[in-house]
């Protein structure tokens, strides 16, 4: 989400960032020459019989799915937590080059109805606040904020923001994994990669496949099966952009009600949160 979504009721997301296309004429000339040589060589050789390639079936390891269920069940036992995530995200430019951005997300949550999320990264600085009745989003760098009436739980808030405003709650997977009745959505391949270390914590690494998404999660071993690292790879784009997050947990955070209450700073301007444009033909 861009800062501009806060500017006016009608402002939508900005155009996709672009950079001048790189001139690659010499490279293409060299490739064309190489292809010509290969084509001549291929014509001089007798055709080879085509050998059909075996189709490798997708494998779902029951232990990998069980690990997800165990992690979700443990997250549901938490009444409150604080987690810091060091993140990276990639954007694919029009010429195919990938640009990586770094950031830090710090969340304090009390279930079912308190949330504070500070987001600092290369592109923006934001504060998300939810007190069980209202949700406020403050864009620090432009000093704009918007407040809306909110549903009674963090999970419902995440759905509302995503569906109506195109806003994703930071680290929203943590809340969906811990939601009552959560099930593994659309997973058609699951693999236990093996033991690993994340920041000195012993974990088990798992890999999963869904339509248009590959993802990996490192889950802490032992009595506290917390997610310690997440890697998402988008398959819809042939450049395969990735998002990563490395988590540091505090299961006994100290906070008060003021942590979830927004006190507008000097000069802050209240604006209306821009809603998603309705789909073509909606309401007909």
Predicted confidence (pLDDT) per residue in 16-52, tens digit: 333 333 222 222 232 233 223 223 333 344 444 545 5
33 backbone dihedrals φ, ψ, rounded to 5° = -65, -40
pLDDT band at 172 (very low <50, low <70, confident <90, very high): confident
pTM, to two decimals = 0.75
Q: Which token pair is 204?
A: 């088990």
Q: What percent of the chain has pLDDT over 70?
A: 74
What is the DSSP code (8-state) at residue 162?
I
- What is the domain extent for residue 128? 59-270
Whether residue 182 lies inside any domain: the answer is yes
Is the pLDDT at 272 greater than 90? The verdict is yes
Whether residue 54 lies inside any domain: the answer is no
Distance between first and last Cα of the chain: 29
What is the DSSP code (8-state) at residue 274?
P
Whether residue 127 lies inside any domain: the answer is yes
Whether residue 172 lies inside any domain: the answer is yes
pLDDT band at 183 (very low <50, low <70, confident <90, very high): low
Whether residue 36 lies inside any domain: the answer is no
More confident residue, 163 or 49: 163
Cα dihedral 128/130/133/139 (nearest 10): -20
What is the DSSP code (8-state) at residue 186?
S
Buried b (16+ CB within 10 A) or exposed e, 119-142: beeeebebbbbbbbeebbbbbbeb
Q: What is the CA radius of gyration of the chain?
A: 23
More confident residue, 230 or 171: 230
Q: Please tell me the number of Cα atoms within 13 Å of 26 on its side-chain side.
A: 1
More confident residue, 150 or 24: 150
CB 83 within 8 A of CB 230: no
Where are the extended beta strands (E) located within the chain? Answer: 80-92, 98-110, 114-121, 125-130, 134-139, 144-149, 189-198, 201-210, 213-220, 227-234, 242-250, 269-270
When divided into structural domains, the chain yields a total of 1
Rounded CA separation 89/107 (Å): 18
Whether residue 17 lies inside any domain: the answer is no
Q: What percent of the chain has pLDDT over 90?
A: 68
Helix spans in the chain (H):
25-44, 62-77, 154-160, 172-177
pLDDT for res 277: 75
CATH number at residue 135: 2.50.20.10
CB 72 within 8 A of CB 178: yes
């Amino acid at each position: 989400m861009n800062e501009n979504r806060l500017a006016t009721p009608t402002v939508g997301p900005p155009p996709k960032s672009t950079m001048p296309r790189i001139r690659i004429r010499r490279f293409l000339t060299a490739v064309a020459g190489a292809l010509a040589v290969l084509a001549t060589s291929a014509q001089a050789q007798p055709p080879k019989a085509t050998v059909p390639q075996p189709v490798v079936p997708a494998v779902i390891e029951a232990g990998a799915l069980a690990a997800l269920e165990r992690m979700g069940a443990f997250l549901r036992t938490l009444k409150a937590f604080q987690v810091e995530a060091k993140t990276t995200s990639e954007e694919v430019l029009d010429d195919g080059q990938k640009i990586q951005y770094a950031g830090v997300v710090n969340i304090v949550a009390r279930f079912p109805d308190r949330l504070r999320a500070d987001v600092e990264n290369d592109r923006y600085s934001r504060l998300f606040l939810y007190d069980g009745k209202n949700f406020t989003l403050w864009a620090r760098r432009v000093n704009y904020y918007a407040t809306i009436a909110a549903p009674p739980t963090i999970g419902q808030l995440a759905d509302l923001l995503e569906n109506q405003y195109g806003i994703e709650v930071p680290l929203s997977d943590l809340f969906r994994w811990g939601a009552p009745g959560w099930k593994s959505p659309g997973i058609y391949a699951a693999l236990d990669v093996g033991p690993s270390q994340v920041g000195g914590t012993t974990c088990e690494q798992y890999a999963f496949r869904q339509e248009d998404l590959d993802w990996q999660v490192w889950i802490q071993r032992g009595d506290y099966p917390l997610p310690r690292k997440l890697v998402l790879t988008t398959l819809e784009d042939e450049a395969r952009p990735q998002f990563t997050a490395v988590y540091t947990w505090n299961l006994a955070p100290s906070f008060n009600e003021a942590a979830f209450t927004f006190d507008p700073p000097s000069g802050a301007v209240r604006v209306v949160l821009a809603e998603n444009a309705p789909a073509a033909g909606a309401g007909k």
